[in-house]
Amino acid sequence: MKHSFHIPVMGTCYTADSPIRLAHLGFSTVISLVDDILLERLGSYYAKLYKLPYATVPKKEEGGRAERIKNYLNLVDQIVKIKMDKTKAMNFNGKSDKDRYFKLLPTKSPLRQRYFKMMELPQGELRTNEEKNLQEEMTPGSIDVNIMVKLDRPEYGDAKEALKGYAESDLKGNTGIVFSAGINQALYTVASEFKCFYRNAKGFFDKKIIVKISDFRSALVQGKFLARKGLEVSEFRIESGLNCGGHAFASQGELLPAILKEVAEKKDSLVAQFKSAIQKYYTAMGWDSAVLEKENKPIFSVQGGIGNFGEDLRLRTEYGMDRTGWGSPFMLVPEATLLDSITRKQLVDATEKDLFLSNASPLGVPFNNLHTCGAEVARKKLIAEGHPGAPCIKGFLENNTEFTERPICTASRQYQKLKTEQIEKMAISREAKDKLLAHAYEKTCLCHELGNAGLIELGLETPEKAPQAICPGPNIAYFNREYTLEEMVDHIYGRGKSLVPENRPHVFAQEIKIYVNWFKGELENFSGDKDYAKWLDGAAENLYKGMDLSLEVAQGKAYPGENLKSIEDAVQKYRPVLQNLQEELKRKAA
């Protein structure tokens, strides 16, 4: 692990080719496996660009989804190896990608320090030997993949097919699969069918398992279930429930300071709790359990709203995180991510008011959105023309049987037509009907439109025919232009001038604001359910606890660039707001 951060999965396309762009420079990135059709189109493009053979798969072929994913990952692996070999073959001249590989490393990295010392040596045997030694240390960044475990339609087994495609791909060693968005026990059982997720003869993993978690309990529950299958977690990725990009899975009011404090205190006990179950599984399978003697201590990372070096340093130093995840800011780094220039410009210009937590997702989960993006503009235009909804091209989010026996997508034209007819027949006021219609029309065709920005950038689609959906985290409001890779990495590592203003709210302050506003929204839509009232009351108590811990941080010493005053301001502003909301909840519940 050369770097102290990774670039998480973003959308379906934004990081789909990031390993091709960055792995040869040592950066770890994550590919979404949601859209196999999109990956095949990207594969055809890159195969032609690199003059490599590439097989496409007929749309309705049985097992075609797994095959398409496998083909794309094999191509990415092949291209990364080509680029890595080409980079290693370069000369150290101060400007090549070989030089960049070392210059981009963390400031205190021994390899980076050795590189600069080597560059000061005169030409000769000593320098030649050190150049060779440094070259041998060069390894590509990890090519990871992400599966949203909830996207697993029974009739298609989307997640299971994606898992199969990854498991059967050529990726080996420096790769892992991220299970995100909940628990899917059936999917984890399928993973146990593939030997690549278990220890090899040397005690290592050909393919690692990475689990995205919301808190320590989530790590324990998922880790134990996997352990019963003999599967080990190599990394637990903690993500802020709401202060992130993409879908926002709200926790019960648990804020990062509380989550990280518990994880820091208990993480060392995790491996011991899994060990016996793993040993038992290997014995039952008749495998050599001696391979388990090599320690596999899972690493912990955290992501969601991190904005500067000081915040990053606190998370790694104070809370013992092994590394961090930086997502949305890299949407403004053309070298790192796949977006068209129109969408990237919209992100550059975006303010806090342009970014909002929407009901756009057909999954029924809050979704980070941008008012000015192509998909939002196109959605409103169709409503104004009297034709709400989108043609359901890919169907990954077909999960509603309100009107049909076969599941359909709530963003589809078919569903919205049926929903409109239902609402118009209701014996309620026009105002009430319009409110219900507006709520129904909020849904966006994410599984197709989230990939359009990438296809437009590669010249495979046009903005007129392919509206671009985008899902940045709130943090992007404080980054206001496009950046080079060097600028963003230097910002993360605290080298040079910060890219964000000094008055930018601290990541902990921003999370307090977002969660209290979320609580307010939940209360506005509260229907009187006693159990949910109890749950929300518990969320409020967790928020108070998180605020108290945030205040402890604010009253301590700041790391470089940290805006600790913004934490105090957030607590002073939002604690009384939350108290009033909690009282209102009690009145409504009564």
How does DSSP assign 483-552, residue by residue? --HHHHHHHHTT-SS-SS-TTSPPHHHHHHHHHHHHHHHHHHT----HHHHHHHHHHHHHHHHHHHHHHH
| pTM recorded for the entire structure | 0.94
pLDDT tens-digit profile of 501-529? 999 999 999 999 999 999 999 998 888 88
Give the start-to-end residue ranges of the domains of the chain.
Answer: 1-141, 339-497
* Closest of 175, 267, 285 to residue 230, by C-alpha: 285
**Tokens (6 digits) for 248:** 């926002």
Distance CA 83, CA 144 (A): 17
Q: What are phi and psi of 301, to 5 degrees?
A: -130, 165
Specify which residues 323 forms β-bridges with. Answer: 301
Element (H, E) at 420: helix 413-424
Specify which residues 172 forms β-bridges with. Answer: none
Distance CA 304, CA 254 (A): 14
Type of residue at 468: Q
Distance CA 144, CA 23 (A): 11
Contact 31, 73 (CB under 8 A): yes
Residuewise pLDDT in 10s, the chain (590 residues) = 799 999 999 999 999 999 999 999 999 999 999 999 999 999 999 999 999 999 999 988 889 999 999 999 999 999 999 999 999 999 999 999 999 999 999 999 999 999 999 999 999 999 999 999 999 999 999 999 999 887 666 655 788 999 999 999 999 999 999 998 777 888 899 999 999 999 999 999 999 999 999 899 999 999 999 999 999 999 999 999 899 988 888 889 999 999 999 999 999 888 888 999 999 999 999 998 889 988 888 999 999 999 999 999 999 999 999 999 999 999 999 999 999 999 999 999 999 999 988 888 888 888 899 999 999 998 999 899 998 988 887 777 788 888 998 888 899 899 899 999 999 999 999 998 889 998 899 998 888 888 999 999 999 999 999 999 999 999 999 999 999 999 999 999 999 899 999 999 999 999 999 999 999 999 988 888 899 999 999 999 999 999 999 999 999 999 999 999 999 999 999 999 999 999 999 998 88
Q: Tell me whether residue 565 is exposed, middle or buried, using C-beta atoms within 10 angstroms of its C-beta: 0 to 12, 13 to 18, 19 or more.
A: middle
